[in-house]
Amino acid sequence: MKLVARSTPWLLSAPAMLLFSSLLLLPLTLTAVLSFNVFDYNTGVKNIFTWAHYAAIFTDDYYFEIFWRTFWIAGLTTLICLLIGAPEAYVLSRMGDPWRTVFLLIVLAPLLVSVVVRAFGWSMLLGPRGLVNQVFAFIGMGPFKILYTEWAVVIALVHVMLPFMIIPIWTSLQKLDPGVENAALSLSASHFTTLRRIVLPQVLPGVLSGSLIVFGLSASAFAIPGLLGGRRLKMVATVVYDEYLHELNWPLGAALALILLLANLLVMLSYNRVLEGRYKKAMG
Amino acid sequence: MSFLTLTDVSKFYGPNCVVANMNLSVEKGEFVTLLGPSGCGKTTTLQMIAGFTEVSQGSITLDGRDITSTPPNSRGLGIVFQSYALFPHMTVFENVSFGLEMRRLDKAQRLERVSAALALVHLEDLAARYPRELSGGQKQRVALARALVIEPPVLLLDEPLSNLDAKLREEMQFELRQIQRKVGTTTIMVTHDQTEAMSICDRVVVMQAGHVTQVDVPYQLYENPQSKFISTFVGKANLMRAQQVHGGGAGAAVTSLSVNGVPFQCKAAELSSSTELMVSLRPEKISFVPLGQGQVDGRVSARFFLGSQWLYQVDTPMGVLQVACPNNDTAPLNEQDPTGLQWSPDSARVLS
Amino acid sequence: MSKNGPLALCFNALVIGFMLAPLVVVCLVAFTPENTLSIPTTDFSLRWFKAVFAHPDFMTSFWNSVWLALAAASVSTCVAIPAGLAITRYQFAGRDALNALFLSPLIVPHLVLGVAILRLFSLIGATGSFFWLVLAHVVVVTPYVLRLVLAASAGMDRSCEQAALSLGASQSAVFRRVTLPMILPGVTGGWLLAFINSFDEVTMSIFVTSPATVTLPVRMYMYATESIDPLMAAVSALMVALTGGVMILLDRLYGLDKILVGSK
């Protein structure tokens, strides 16, 4: 007698499978198809195959500039998040309760607040008469134009992405056996050496994971460049918005969106590869 | 006729045979233990009896009925799990009455029977508590009450005492036995702890690598282990290689052998034709005598105080022998003391 | 037990300040009596909050967001529980693939999701439909519920289910009386997390909402691109308050740190 029917797990997963195929897989496929459709400014989308949109993206300087800007903003954001997030995670892990949990929550809770609110908050802080410029004025500098420049976008992105960097690093740190650090110290290693040769290598998977997540999310960010970048500072996401809602050139927008998706998937896959290669052997 | 019978029961996971051709007959009211090291198949056997694991081959009969294909929720057996598996979101009372609810008893009947079950395990005052508020020993009793309240034909215990500390374990062993005697339920227990197995059950089934190696009452199992594995798994033993001595006639009261050239006599046994044999001698069967007055002389190389007894290691021409002496008024020997060792030939065994 | 020196604690204070700055500013400016964005120093006024409640567009989109989030969280929970149980309980070919599929919205940029679902909606005429908007949100928030269901299901003592079976319970009784109550904390935490994520969602929603179904964050985005005034701050402050309330609930029921960082 079979204790459980073979089909039970499939039946249980059926609702989710139905939902995801029709509202995730199907739309993505349709969009992929769309990206190869011809677009005519007068008549709209035509059901004819063309490489034109992809060709335009890869040859036109305008798009190159957009991708480059997106790339370096995402990269800078990742770097800053790393420089702030890793030490912060480390400092938090060395705190005692209850402060540790309190500060961890303060740092992570903004994740639950909508990005629009946070972007708006930054636009107030970074405006020509915002708090930041007021502080500069107080010490006799400025006013600096921060809002509607790349810097505003980076600052706000760092604010939004920092939790995503801290969480995996924090998780890695939690898995550390504190005895190992003490063992190194007892063998006459300095604090710095212990950090560099004992703690850091074990935390590296978390650092890698956080960096890739932050990079991927920053590259596809929409609300922040939209509200803080102004009309002239476009990133990939805002260009897609323009194509869809202003230009109505859906195929081009679809092509851009798909390139973004593929870039993201590539980033995630490379993480898996690196992790499987180097770290699984050592750390299991 | 036996109450619970396993006939040629086997379990395969792919090519791996986890339980091989197991035959077991349990009489009504008997307390049987499946004893063996991890991986010997004892828990799998219990799971098959309970119905959570499918039988690959063979059959299981309970009171004449074939239950091999019966689903676990129709077998009506009482089970105490190793982790106790108490429902964390229910009180002690609700836990114990769950089985009765499934049997559609009304509130009054449930109250009566749950109260009786809790009284049996001495937990009447804790009926309103939640499992997280209970100690390990208390949780174990609730699990037992929950299994017994449904008046099952067979009670299955999966390493019931392994999560308790040593002192509590001892207490619970005796209580378990008392309750079983009182209620009279046929019980099958699984354990890797040999003291537990021997102290509370009627018969021990020793398992190794999926096979049954010996089935006996505890005393016989200890005194007459049939293999090297059993003699060291159940209790301690001095194991020695012995050689046959020419001229030892059949029909003699003792069998004469020699260990490293030293004459060694053991209980009469049929000897195989191999020249190398294994003999076993329990440490507590050896006593100290003045030099020259025993079977062999030696020197104490180490001693350990275990509270109720002293455990000595004695270097002899036969090898290092362990000797256990009760901690009575005799003065203990010191390390490096020379001494003679003596035992009755009946205490020594040849292992097959 | 702090092993941190004063430098480390200073650093931590700066980071905390950085994380809180925009939220604090928003809440302060919301109370300004002025017409322009400014931080109230002496006078605190509720005029902008009153303006929010009097603003029909904001109120409509607020209720849209609330109903949407309630529906999306509930539907995704109903979908995620059986899927999560299937993944943790059964070994079957395709289990890993399904697990990846159901968690994939976490790595698909919301922008791409928005664009893709918009295409689907335009082809089947679903733009403007609240029903289809709910389904779009369900796809986005299901991973959050699923992760918590997976953790709860994997972490529960399965022998309790075996115990229930041995005591005579049917499979459905085991689910109702034992499994579900035992994974309920995870399920509730997941529901709340799904609610808040749906409520906050803006990037995908910008593409798939229509004038009839505009949600609050989308309305706020539109408003912010046109005019910046304290009305926006007041709405933001209200959203922060709402989020704060949900966080307290989450913490009471499940443990906020466990949800944000992941249970160990």
Ramachandran category for residue C32: left, alpha or beta (phi over 0 → left; psi -120 to 50 → alpha): beta
| pLDDT score of A155 | 95
Closest residue on chain B to A3 (Cα): B71
Give residue A78's pLDDT: 95
Q: For the ranges A152-166, A223-237, C138-152, which has the lowest average pLDDT? A: A223-237
Amino acid sitting at position C172: S
Distance from CA of B60 to the nearest CA of A (A): 14
Q: Is A95's CB within 8 Å of C260's CB? A: no
Task: Give residue B249's pLDDT.
Answer: 54
* Predicted confidence (pLDDT) per residue in B237-274, tens digit: 898 888 877 655 555 667 778 788 788 888 777 777 66
3 state DSSP class of B291: coil
Pairing of strands B31-35, B203-208: parallel
Every domain range in chain B assigned CATH 2.40.50.140: 236-351
Domain with CATH 3.40.50.300 in chain B: 4-229
Beta carbons of C107 and A268 less than 8 Å apart: yes
Residues C59 and C66 sit within 8 Å (Cβ to Cβ): no
- β-sheet bridge partners, residue C227: none
Mean pLDDT value of segment B35-57: 93
Q: CA of C89 to nearest chain B CA: how many angstroms apart?
A: 14
Answer whether residue A270 shows pLDDT above 50.
Answer: yes
For chain C, the residues whose C-beta falls within 8 A of a C-beta of chain B are 157, 159-160, 162-171, 173, 177-178, 181-182
Name the minimum distance, in Å, from the CA of A8 to any CA of chain B.
17
Residue pair A271/A205 in contact (Cβ under 8 Å)? The answer is no
d(CA B6, CA B23) in angstroms, rounded, equals 5
The tens place of each residue's pLDDT in chain C, 264 residues long, gives: 457 788 889 999 999 999 999 999 999 888 888 888 777 777 888 888 888 888 898 999 999 999 999 999 999 999 999 999 999 988 888 899 999 999 999 889 999 999 999 999 999 988 889 999 999 999 999 999 999 999 999 989 899 999 999 999 999 999 999 999 999 988 998 999 999 999 999 999 999 999 889 999 999 999 988 887 888 899 999 999 998 898 888 888 888 877 777 643
Range in A35-44, A268-277, B118-127 the model is least confident about: A268-277
Which value, in Å, is the radius of gyration of the alpha carbons in chain A? 24
User: Binning pLDDT at 50, 70 and 90, where does residue A219 land?
Assistant: very high
Tokens read off for B68 = 């091999």
Of C138, C196, C261, the CB nearest to A171: C261
Pick from A182-186, A252-256, C206-210: least confident: A182-186
- Of B244, B284, B282, B289, nearest in space to B264 by CA: B244
Contact between B72 and C165 using a beta-carbon 8 Å cutoff: yes
**Paired strand residues for B214:** B206
> Which of B62, B73, B188 to mutate to test binding with chain C, by most C CBs within 10 Å of its CB?
B73
Structure tokens of B195?
A: 């003291």
Examine residue A128 and say whether the peptide bond preceding it is cis (omega within 30 degrees of 0). Answer: no
**pLDDT given for residue C264 in this prediction:** 37
Select from A23, A91, A124 the Cβ nearest to the Cβ of C139. Answer: A23
Cross-chain CB nearest to C224 (options A227, A240, A261): A227
Cis? peptide before B160, omega within 30° of 0? no
pLDDT for res B253: 65
Does the CB of B54 have a partner CB in chain A at under 8 Å?
A: yes
List the one residue out of B172, B125, B171, B165 whose CA is nearest residue B144: B172
Does A16 lie at the interface with B, CB-CB under 8 angstroms? no
Chains that touch B (3 or more CB pairs under 8 A): A, C
CB contact under 8 A, B86 and C160: yes
Instruction: For residue B301, give Cα distances in angstroms to B245, B292, B333, C201, C240.
Output: 30, 18, 11, 77, 77
Contact status, residue A222 vs residue A245, Cβ threshold 8 Å: no
Report the residue of B67, B87, B110 to disrupt the C interface, i.e. the one with the largest count of C CBs within 10 Å. B87
Q: What pLDDT does A2 receive?
A: 39
Options 2.40.50.140, 2.40.100.10, 2.40.10.410, 3.40.50.1110; CATH of B236-351: 2.40.50.140
Contact B85 C165 (CB under 8 A): no
Is pLDDT larger for residue A131 or for residue A214?
A214
Structural domains of chain C, ranges and CATH numbers in brackets: 55-261 (1.10.3720.10)
Mean pLDDT over A43-55 rounds to 83
A6: helix, strand or coil: coil
> Which residue of A31, A163, A265 is in closest CB contact with C116?
A31
pLDDT at C137: 97
Question: Are the beta carbons of C257 and A105 separated by less than 8 Å?
Answer: yes
Q: Residue A260 has which token pair?
A: 């973004």
Strand partners, A46: A38
Q: How far is CA B45 from CA A2, B69, B215, C159, in A?
A: 18, 15, 15, 16
B71 in reach of chain A (CB within 8 A): yes
With beta carbons under 8 A apart, name residues in chain C contacting A242. Answer: none
Phi and psi dihedrals of B260, rounded to 5? 50, 35
Contact B10, B60 (CB under 8 A): no
Percent of chain B with pLDDT over 90: 67
Determine the Cα–Cα distance for residues B284 and B282; give it in Å rounded to an integer.
Answer: 6
Query: Considering CB atoms only, which of C101, C119, C199 is closest to A34?
Result: C119
Residue A21: what pLDDT? 94
pLDDT of B330 reads 85
ipTM of this predicted structure: 0.88
> Mind listing the pLDDT tens digit for each residue in B313-340?
999 998 899 999 999 888 889 999 999 9
pLDDT value for A30 = 92
Q: Could you say which of A94, A131, A240 has the minimum Cβ distance to residue C111?
A: A240
d(CA C220, CA C216): 6
Which carries the bigger pLDDT value, residue B103 or residue A1? B103
Question: Is the CB of residue A24 less than 8 Å away from at least one CB of chain C?
Answer: yes
Domain segments of chain A as ranges: 48-97+158-283
Assess whether pLDDT exceeds 80 at residue A279. Answer: no
Selected from 3.10.580.10, 3.40.50.1700, 3.40.50.970, 3.40.50.300, the CATH number assigned to the domain covering B4-229 reads 3.40.50.300
Q: Do A20 and C246 touch (CB under 8 A)?
A: no
Residues C208, C129 contacting (CB under 8 angstroms): no
Instruction: With H, G, I as helix, E, B as strand and everything else as coil, classify residue B245.
Output: coil
Neighbour-count burial of B25, counting CB atoms closer than 10 A to its CB (0-12 exposed, 13-18 middle, 19+ buried): middle
Mean pLDDT for chain A overall: 86
Give the distance from residue C136's alpha carbon to the nearest chain B alpha carbon, in angstroms.
Answer: 35
Q: How far apart are the first and last CA of chain C?
A: 22
CA proximity to A125, closest of A141, A146, A104, A98: A146
Count of beta carbons in the 10 Å neighbourhood of residue B218: 20
Per-window interface: A 131-160 vs B, CB < 8 A = none
Q: Which residue of B has its CA nearest to C180?
A: B89
- The two tokens of residue B348 are 């020594």
Residue A1: predicted pLDDT: 33
Q: Residue A143: is the preceding peptide bond cis (ω within 30°)?
A: yes
**Chain B residue numbers touching C91 (CB-CB < 8 A):** none
**Predicted TM-score of the model (pTM):** 0.84
Q: Quote the radius of gyration of chain C (alpha carbons, Å).
A: 22
Q: Provide the CATH number for the domain formed by A48-97+158-283 in this structure.
A: 1.10.3720.10
Tokens 């300040």 identify what position? C17
Residue of C nearest to A104 (CA): C257
Give the gap in angstroms from C-alpha B54 to the nearest C-alpha of chain A: 8
C22/A118 touch (CB, cutoff 8 Å), yes or no: yes
Query: Given an 8 Å threshold on Cβ–Cβ distance, is A3 in contact with B69?
Result: no
Q: How far is C23 from chain B (nearest CA, A)?
A: 39
Task: Please answer yes or no on whether A113 and C200 come within 8 Å at the CB atom.
Answer: yes
